[in-house]
Each structure stands twice: as structure tokens, then as C-alpha cells.
Structure 1
Amino acid sequence: MPDPEFPPSPLPRSFFARDSRTVARELLGRELVHDSAEGILIARIVETEAYGDERDSACHVARGRTPRNEVLYGPPGHAYVYLVYGLHELLNVVTECDGLPGAVLLRAIVPVHGKAAMVARRNGRAGRELGNGPGKLSQALGITRAAFNRADLCSGRGLWFAAGTPAAAGEIRTGPRVGIDYADPVDRDAPWRFLLRPGQQ
């Protein structure tokens, strides 16, 4: 039996050229691959959040188009990496069609390959603490604004998404997005966070 492809091939751009909520749901169980200085790192995606267009008061485009959020307007399949609290760099992938803003925030991962390097990047933190938050997963995988903001995540170079094992509908639960107290109630309470049920991660 032949060995599985390594490193795995990137998902096509068409995967991301869809509604943000569809992409957020279907990224669960997929893999995030980083061809890093320490070698190939692969992590399974276990939690995501969807963000919409200017009508979504939780999204960075809610106040219009700016040089910072320009990448969110397409083309899909590119990275939007931003800094929060002056400390944490968060990875998003641009969704929707070119010209229509949207993104999915990567919120949590579990290691598949290269775990020792990820644990080292997290200063020895393993288990749930390795990647159970968007800042933690970026640190574990070595994802920075300088290296990856606006990067093409469909090129198969540097950083990309791979097929992995898509989650079945019964393995997924939803809930409100995290850390968006500033948003309008209808957006704050929208069930746009997607995560694998305990035992499926």
C-alpha cells in the first residue's frame, strides 16, 4: 500500500470561494500545514469562527474598507493575520468571492505531525494548552503577520490547508463567537462558531 502523500497537497481556491459559515464548518477536521524552519508541521483544525461582510458588526470590515482589511475583499484563499492586545497574532483565511469580504478565524488545533516543535514553540505547554486558542495555535505553528499576512494559502508553499479528515455533521456543535462584546446583539449571539464535540478531537 503506498504511503500517504507527504506533505499533503493544498485545498483548492474553490474550497474558500464560498459562504464563510460553510467554509468554517467544513474546515473542521482539515489540516493546517506549515513548512517551517523546524520541518513540516501539521495540525488538525478543531474550532473555527465565521465572519461576514459589512453587515456583520463583529467583522473588521464593519466600518468599511481600509488598508488594513483590504485583503478581506479577496481573492479567497489568502491569509489575514492581525495582532490583538499587542501580543497575539491571529490567523484568518479569506472566503467568499473576489470583492465580497468574509473570513474564517482559526481558533483551535491539535497536533498531527511535528508535535515536539509545536510544544517547544509553546514553551513546553502540551495537551489542550498547546493550541486551544487562536493566539496559541499561531504561536505553536510559528504563524506571524510578517511572514504570512496576505499570503496565498492555496499555493502549497509556506502555509496551506490540506484535506485531512472532514468532520461529519454529528461531530460538530455550534455557538456564539468569542470576544466580540462590542458587536450588536444579533451578531454577538449568532451561532457562527464551529467546533468538534468532545471525543471527536
Structure 2
Amino acid sequence: MRTPLPPSFYLRDAAIVARELLGAVLMHDDGAQVVSGRIIETEAYLGPHDPASHSAAGRTARTWHMFGPPGTAYVYFIYGMHWCVNAVTGDEGYGSAVLIRALAPLAGLEVMRARRPKARTDASLCDGPGKLCAALGITRAHDGLMLTGASPLTIYEGPPVPDDGVVIGPRIGISKAVDWPLRFCIAPQRQTSA
């Protein structure tokens, strides 16, 4: 039985949490189906001083849960077509979070394939933030839920990933602070090992 990551895990700097989420398992259990994947890529958004962070503009209806307690799911819609899921970090009210960018599918592959019929391989089912939300069935309904084991959406601890198995680089898909090294990925040769 896996152990959910506690709120104290998230009560730290977003960059630390982003690095340490690598290898953890994101699971969605809606009562009828269980789907999960190992977190293999994340991006840290540091808070209101980070110009690429949604919190830089202050608390709005859209970003409300980004300012919630550590371990809250912050789910938002982007490009008019994709959901993205984040784990809120740091102190409540601060507005920092970690975007979960990619997963290596673990459980519920048939469900994921049905939800993402255009995916050519199982590896491509969850290889982007919008794709993983589609594959796991994550929507705005999950915004504000706790990821700490008390809701259908939970992040469980996984095997630690050694530093030599992690690639760090700039965030992608943003136009501000593009050179900040806040994107963390498990090296491709280590993504399938658990």
C-alpha cells in the first residue's frame, strides 16, 4: 500500500517540491475506475515574484485554489481545450505551485487509451500536462481538492530518484522568466524503472 504525501511535503519551496515529486505516483480513483502514473516531469512556479506564475497577477476566481493550503490541487484550463493540474506548495495564501507535466502510465491503461484514442503509444498517453489530465480524467471538478489522500485525486510517495537521474532545465510554453531552471525531468533511460 502506497502512502499519500502529507501536507508537510508541500509546505516547502516549489522548486524543492518539483524536484522531489519526481518518482511519486498521481492516482485518480473516481469510485469506478483507477488510473495512475509515475510523475516524470514537473515545473515549479515560485509565487507572486515569478512573472510566469499565475499568482503574479494576484488572487482571482481562476487562481483561487493556487493560494490554498499546501497539497491542494490547482486545476486550470488553457488554450480553450486542455486542463492542467498543479500541486500547491508553500504557505497558504502565497500562491506557489508545481505543474505536473508528464507521467509514465502505471494503472488503468485501457481507460487511458479510451480517453486518448489518438495516442500512438502508451508512453505518449501522458507525455504533456493536458494529455495526462485527459488520460486520468482530471477536470475543473478536481480544482481545490486535497492531493493528500482525502479525495479521489491523490499523490503517493514513490521511489526516490537519484540526482544523476534528473535533468534540470528552463520551463517551456511560457513567455516570461523563460531561462529560469525550474523544469525537472527524470532522465529518459530511468523513466520506466520504478
After TM superposition, the score normalised by the length of structure 1 is: 0.90
**1:123 CA displacement:** 1.2
Report whether the alignment pairs 1:198 with 2:188. yes
Distance 1:62 1:116 in 2: 39
Q: Go from structure 1 to structure 2 and tell me whether the alpha carbon gap of 1:121 and 1:38 turns closer, same or farther (over 3 Å shift).
A: farther
Distance 2:8 2:31 in 1: 29
Paired with 2:105 and 2:27, the residues of 1 have a C-alpha distance of: 10
Which range moved further: 154-163 or 31-40?
Answer: 31-40
Equivalent residue for 2:174, pick from 174, 177, 180: 180
Please list every run of 5 or more consecutive structure 1 residues that lacks an aligned counterpart in the other structure: none
User: Which sits farther off after the overlay, 104-113 or 119-128?
Assistant: 119-128
Preserved CA contact (<8 Å) 2:170 2:181: yes
**Match in the other structure for 1:13:** 7
Find the counterpart in structure 1 of residue 129 from structure 2.
134
Measured in 2, the distance between the counterparts of 1:40 and 1:122 equals 16
Q: Deviations over 1:81-137 (max 9, x none)?
A: 111111000001100012222000000001111111111111152333211100000
Residue identity in the other structure for 1:123: P
Identity %: 45
CA contact (8 A) 1:38 1:117 kept: no
d(CA) in 2 for partners of 1:149, 1:119: 24
Name the structure 1 match of 2:146. 152
Query: 2:5, 2:159 → 1: CA distance?
Result: 12
- Per the alignment, do residues 157 and 73 of structure 1 end up closer, same or farther by CA in structure 2, a change over 3 Å counting? closer
Provide the rounded CA distance (Å) in 2 between the counterparts of 1:135 and 1:59. 17
Provide Cα deviations, 1:127-152, integer angstroms capped at 9, x if missing partner.
3321110000000100001x201111
Consecutive unaligned residues of structure 2, counting only runs of 5 or more, are none
Q: What's the offset of the Cα at 1:179?
A: 0.8
Using the TM superposition, name which of 160-169 and 67-76 deviates more. 67-76
1: CA distance, partners of 2:67 / 2:83: 20
SS at match of 1:167: coil
Distance of 1:44 and 1:56 partners within structure 2: 27
Q: How does 1:54-69 map to 2 (within 5 A)?
A: 54-69=48-63
Which one of the candidate residues 44, 47, 51 is aligned to 1:53?
Answer: 47
Indicate the residue corresponding to 2:29 in structure 1.
Answer: 35
Task: Note if contact 2:167-2:186 (Cα within 8 Å) is conserved in structure 1.
Answer: yes
**Aligned equivalents of 1:76, 1:38: Cα separation in 2:** 28
Aligned partner of 2:38 in structure 1 is: 44
* Among candidates 50, 68, 71, match of residue 77 of structure 1: 71
* 1:120 counterpart = 2:114: yes
Aligned pairs, number: 190
- Determine the structure 2 residue equivalent to 1:143: 138
Letter in 2 for 1:199: Q
Counterpart residue identity of residue 193, structure 1: R
